Amino acid sequence: MKKQINEAIHARQCVPVWKKIFLQLSLLACLGVFSTSHAITDSGLSIQQQVSGTVTDDSGVPLPGASIVVKGTTVGTVADFDGNYTINAASNGVLVFSYVGFTPKEIAVNGKSTLNASLEVDSSLLDEVVVVGYGTQKKGEVTAAIASVDAEQLGIVQTSSSIDAVKGQISGVDIQASGGRPGQTSTVRIRGRRSITASNDPLYVVDGIPLIDGSESMSDINPQDIASMQILKDAAATAVYGSRGANGVILVSTNRGKVGKTQVRYSSQIGLTSAARLVDMMNGQEYAEMKREARRSSWNGTIPADVDVFFDPVELKSIEEGRSTDWIDLVVGNGYQTNHQLGVSGGSENTTFNSSIGYFKEQGIISNQDYERFSGRINIDHRINNTFKIGASFLISNSVQNWGSNATMGEALAINPLGVPYDDEGNLLFLPTNDGIRTNPLNELVDGAYIDERKFTRIFAPIFLDINIAEGLNWTTTFGPDIRIGRRGQFRGSLTNDNRGGPGDASITHFDTFGYTLENLLTFGTEIAGNHNLKVTLLQSTQNSRSEFSNASVTGIPYESQAFYNLGSADNSIVDSSLSEWTLNSFMGRINYDIAGKYLFQASLRADGSSRLAEGNKWNYFPGVSAGWRISQESFMAESAISELKLRASYGEVGNTSVAPYQTAGRLQGTAYAFGEESALGFALSEIPNAALGWEVSKTLDIGVDYGLFNGRINGAVDWFRTNTVDILLDRSLPFTSGYNSILQNIGATRTQGLEFAVSAGILDNPNGFSWKMDFNVAGYKEEIIELALKDENGNPVDDIGNNWFIGQPIRVWYDYEKIGIYQADEEALANSQEQKVPGEIRLNDLDGDGLITPDDRKILGTDTPDFYGGFNNKFSYKGLELGVFFFFRQGQTIRSDFHASNNSLFARYNNLDVDYWTIDNPSNANPRPNENQESPRNGSTLRYFDSSFIKLRNVSLAYNLPKSIIEKLGMQELKLTLSGQNLLIITDYETFDPEISEDAVSAGSGIVPSNKMYSLSLSAKF
């Protein structure tokens, strides 16, 4: 903080003389003080004299604008831009020196004509203020598990999403990409998963208003508009959000204006992108060898002549000419990313503002995939008087995402490399070979042939009225409308993989959501008996959401240039629409109490009433309690190198909004039935109504330690937590005679427990030389299922093998046979007796040793839950140069790769990953023998499991801050140039595009687009 104050002082020293004079007069006017030739004095004061001097900080830096007041009077002045002042005071008077961010100081005149004052930074202000649910607290007073990310950290990685920017920077927050498409959202898990079937996404709250669309709508917010993000991790912190807090809460605070001169900010970035990794598919020669092997008469038989293997003249010609087509190279190219932001902020003592406009564009590495966003924001705060303050935050954004075709990548991987993309005249061939299954992926990239355009317009405009009723008593009313309008237009032409020469088809989908939040917040704070502090927070809240959906789909498009804009001209149409509404009414109370800032207590209770639940079961209550002991504030720690040591513990119960609107009432679906001898259409219940459905409830115990060493040079936190989640929604099977397969009930339970560690260290701190700052975090957790719908005769929970749910195991595991090799030529008898196989096929592990492979030989092979994950960031500074190196890692998880299932079939009809497969001359144990009679190997699923541990060089950057001697001549405050690279290095044993695959994309199928690496140049300037 002291550094920031000094920077502000230096900036003021650079102001022209006329502005200095104007500022002094303004400051005097704000203070209501005007210098005159005679001071205003009481008749009882001693002889007046003139006193002058300089006001500085404890390092001798002048404090321009510092206030000097004669104690007990209204006489005062302010220091000029060199920190000098002159004032008339009584010879026995006392001068009070003050400056924002510093501790006021009193000095007796004692007849002296010169008094210099050295002010010290207010140590209480060094205790960072963090945003918590419905309020703020000093970091030292926080008793829950809350982590913070500031704007500087969000700016480390250039990305369209602030959520993606946080990846690897917060312990216990696991963020994974869903693929490499531009604008594709990430999956966020805070302290793992709790629910088996419902969402595990956190709640997002922006400027105090919960978002209606979660992580998807976060992509509408420009990351450069965000001042900070607070992640509430334990239930004591999230209990104030009740039925929506089970999966953690992310609080987003956007930039607001500050008192002072108007500041203009501009930033620009351009980057070139390419695939971070590509896979090794077979070339033409390798594919031909595989196809010959697949046609071998038996595992140890003979290979036919080529004319009996290759029936397509195109293949034979390619073999003869040594021709091979690299289809991936044809469809994957280079892209780019550009980002521009212009912001203006400032304000007077009563009114402050911050405004910005932004433009972001990312062109994907596949030509018809891109993402573009325009955004505008204005935040304004105005103090009407000492009682009333109003403010607003207005966001408008418009984004367009062209998703592209999944077949582009899928066909590029699978198509025969002996095929050709063009005919002799250079025209695209729809079928590169005579095989009608695989189509030319370049057809998907023809302009207008395949369109999947997703447009969103967002208006988010919270407003508030703050009323200072009395000292310590405050009332705030907030109203936050949230509008998101979406349209998805799709068109697939005749010559695409979807239609294969048939008529084109199109669809258009609209989804409009309007929500609002209205909250009234009353806070009261007071000091009791000198060192006891009490703060009470009371909340009344209502949130309403209305979502409309409509869709029209047609086939038989008469002319393809119309795309999806004239659906009425088509032959066949299907129309669908829906409406979903819900309301949440809430009350919350919270008490914060501390003794001398050392012994800290917090308790809260929230009541949520939801329209989603049935009558008589609508209201639920969510308590939270926490306590802390700031050991470092004790007298026996006064001389210690430990500057901060706080022990804290918390417990809370929070809910998961897991019941869909109308689900408790029973929803209808269309059905066909016999009406006499005729067939008729009608409606029936799609599910059995269950009025007893309620929220899944997570109960979390957290024990943590916040620490700091050497006056905060090293600081961090350690947390252990355990979360027991009960009343998980699962389907209970019903007898067929009931007419239904199952009924949804609150019957499951899980447990998640883990450990988190974070440390930040200023290893070297030399403002005029070399500095090194390091941030490191790591976390790990264990999931286990405690209870399921199935019970044995004694009422004990049993495994649900059909769903791969196992008591005592993580929520998602891979349950299958275990491959231990390939049957070799000398194991023919064993292969036949044990599995009815022949040499060259997959050999499974006979777990029970009975000499046969049966379902009892299956085992849990792994889980997608990592052993640990985290990030390691280093920032090196030398004068104007800054070097940043940021690593992100995830270790110990297993992936089930459908990518390998699709691209390692060894069927030899499609291209294949270039793998080491078994032949009679190559007795490999890695992969089985190619076989034209098996579209995939027997037990081929055992080839899909991989350790997907990885370490990524997430970002490396080199920045240069131009010297002040240069930028001052340009009339600027700051000018910074940065060269950076993202995803330049990936260390992993998993051989595919990217081991970082979210649980939402866990299949890792062929449609996934490779993730990008990027080299970029950026500029940021302040005026």
Three-state DSSP class for residue 131: strand
> What is the reported pLDDT for 337?
97
Mean pLDDT of 328-347: 96
User: Helix H segments across 399-456?
Assistant: 406-414
pLDDT at 1007 (0 to 100)? 64
DSSP 8-state class, residue 710: T
Q: Is the pLDDT of residue 802 over 80?
A: yes
In whole angstroms, give the CA distance from residue 99 to residue 389. 24
What stretches of 54-159 show up as alpha helix (H) in DSSP? Answer: 151-154
Burial class (CB in 10 A: 0-12, 13-18, 19+), 962: middle
Look at residue 890 in the predicted model and tell me its pLDDT: 96
pLDDT in tens, 879-918: 889 999 999 999 999 999 888 988 999 999 999 999 999 9
pLDDT at position 658, please?
86
Question: For the range 71-77, what are the long-range contacts, defined as Cβ-Cβ under 8 Å and sequence gap of 24 or more?
Answer: 71/95, 71/96, 71/106, 73/39, 73/40, 73/41, 73/42, 74/32, 74/33, 74/40, 75/33, 75/39, 75/40, 75/41, 76/31, 76/33, 77/28, 77/33, 77/35
pLDDT digits (tens, 9 = 90+) for 212-266: 877 777 889 999 999 999 999 999 999 999 999 999 999 999 999 988 889 999 9
Of the pLDDT bands very low, low, confident and very high (cuts 50, 70, 90), residue 19 is very low
Q: What is the pLDDT of residue 259?
A: 84
Residue 722, pLDDT above cutoff 60? yes
Lowest mean pLDDT among 147-156, 740-749, 952-961, 1000-1009: 1000-1009
Grouping H, G, I as helix, E, B as strand and the rest as coil, residue 409 is: helix
State what percent of residues in the chain have pLDDT above 90: 75
Please write the tens of the pLDDT for every residue from 561-579.
999 999 999 988 999 999 9
Average pLDDT over residues 411-432: 96
- Rounded to two decimals, the pTM is 0.86
First to last CA, the chain: 21
Mean pLDDT of 429-434: 96
869 forms beta bridges with: 779, 890
What pLDDT sits at residue 392?
A: 96
pLDDT over 50 (residue 424) = yes
The string of DSSP codes covering 232-269 is: E-SHHHHGGGGGG-TT-EEEEEE----SEEEEEEEEEE
User: Helix H segments across 563-613?
Assistant: none
> 619 pLDDT exceeds 80?
yes
- pLDDT-derived band at 741 (thresholds 50, 70, 90) equals confident
Exposed / middle / buried, residue 938 (Cβ in 10 Å: 0-12, 13-18, 19+) = middle
Kindly report which listed range (21-30, 561-570, 600-609, 654-663) carries the lowest average pLDDT score.
Answer: 21-30
The two three-digit tokens of residue 849, written as one number? 């040793």
Question: How many residues does the structure list for the chain?
Answer: 1023
Could you tell me if 994 and 1011 are in contact, meaning their C-beta atoms sit under 8 angstroms apart? yes
- pLDDT average, residue stretch 5-22: 40
Strand bridging mode 48-57 / 117-119: parallel
Nearest of 490, 327, 278 to residue 403 by alpha carbon: 490
Q: Cβ distance 551 to 577 under 8 Å?
A: yes
What was the pLDDT predicted at 893?
A: 95
Distances from the Cα of 326 to the Cα of 411, 424, 455, 645, angstroms: 12, 18, 34, 60
pLDDT tens track for 287-315: 999 999 999 999 999 999 999 999 999 99
Q: What pLDDT is recorded for position 17?
A: 37
What's the rounded Cα separation, in Å, for the pair 540 and 232? Answer: 21
Residue 298 CB neighbours (<10 A): 10
Tell me how crowded residue 802 is: count the other CB atoms within 10 A of its CB: 8
- Mean pLDDT over 569-595 rounds to 94
Question: Quick one: residue 804, left, alpha or beta (phi over 0 = left, psi -120 to 50 = alpha)?
Answer: left
Per-residue confidence (pLDDT) for residue 687, from 0 to 100: 85
Average pLDDT estimate for 101-111: 87
Q: Do 140 and 221 contact (CB within 8 A), yes or no? A: no
Helix (H, G, I), strand (E, B) or coil at 464: strand
- Neighbouring C-beta atoms of residue 307, cutoff 10 Å: 8
Cα separation, 427 vs 106, whole angstroms: 88
pLDDT of residue 6: 45
SS3 of residue 80 by DSSP: coil
Q: Are the C-beta atoms of 548 and 579 separated by less than 8 Å?
A: yes
Secondary structure element (H or E) that encloses residue 9, with its range:
helix 2-13
- Is the pLDDT at 775 greater than 80? The verdict is yes
Structure tokens at 468: 């200072």
Grade residue 18 by pLDDT with cuts at 50, 70 and 90.
very low
Q: How does strand 642-656 pair with strand 572-595?
A: unpaired
Number of Cβ within 10 Å of residue 752's Cβ equals 22
3-state secondary structure 815-862: EECCEEEECCHHHHHHHHHHHCCCCCCEEECCCCCCCCCCHHHCEEEE
Mean pLDDT taken over the chain: 90
Which residues have a Cβ under 8 Å from the Cβ of 301 and sit 6 or more positions away?
none
Across the range 937-952, mean pLDDT stands at: 95
DSSP symbols for 790-821: -B-TTS-B--BGGGTB-BTS-SSEEEE--EEE
CA dist., res. 467 & res. 886, Å (int):
45
pLDDT at 63: 84
Contact 951, 996 (CB under 8 A): no
Q: How many helices (H) and strands (E) does the chain have?
A: 13, 48
Q: Which residues pair with 868 in a beta bridge?
A: 891
The predicted structure's pLDDT at residue 82: 81
pLDDT in tens, 966-982: 988 888 889 999 999 99
pLDDT in tens, 522-548: 999 999 988 899 999 999 999 999 999
Q: Vertex 420, ends 416 and 425: CA angle to 5°? A: 165
**Residue 22's pLDDT band (cuts 50, 70, 90):** very low
Kindly list the structural domains of the chain, giving each domain's residue range(s) and its CATH number in brackets, ordered by start: 2-125 (2.60.40.1120), 126-258 (2.170.130.10)
Given a cut of 60, whether residue 179 has pLDDT beyond it is yes
The CA-atom distances, in angstroms, between 439 and each of 134, 433, 495, 899 are 56, 9, 9, 19
User: What confidence score (pLDDT) does residue 36 get?
Assistant: 33
Between the alpha carbon of residue 1004 and those of residues 326, 367, 510, 901, 911, the distances in Å are 21, 21, 29, 10, 18
Closest CA to 780 of 808, 814, 753: 753
Of 127-131, 750-754, 989-993, which range is least confident?
Answer: 127-131
Cα separation, 256 vs 377, whole angstroms: 10
User: Could you give the angle at which helices 284-294 and 313-321 cross, rounded to 10 degrees?
Assistant: 130
Burial-class residue 577 by CB neighbours within 10 Å (0-12, 13-18, 19+): exposed
Check if the beta carbon of residue 811 is closer than 8 Å to that of residue 196. Answer: yes
What the block records as the tokens of 10 is: 């230096």
Q: In 186-246, where does DSSP find H-type helix?
A: 214-218, 235-238
For range 118-130, the mean pLDDT: 70
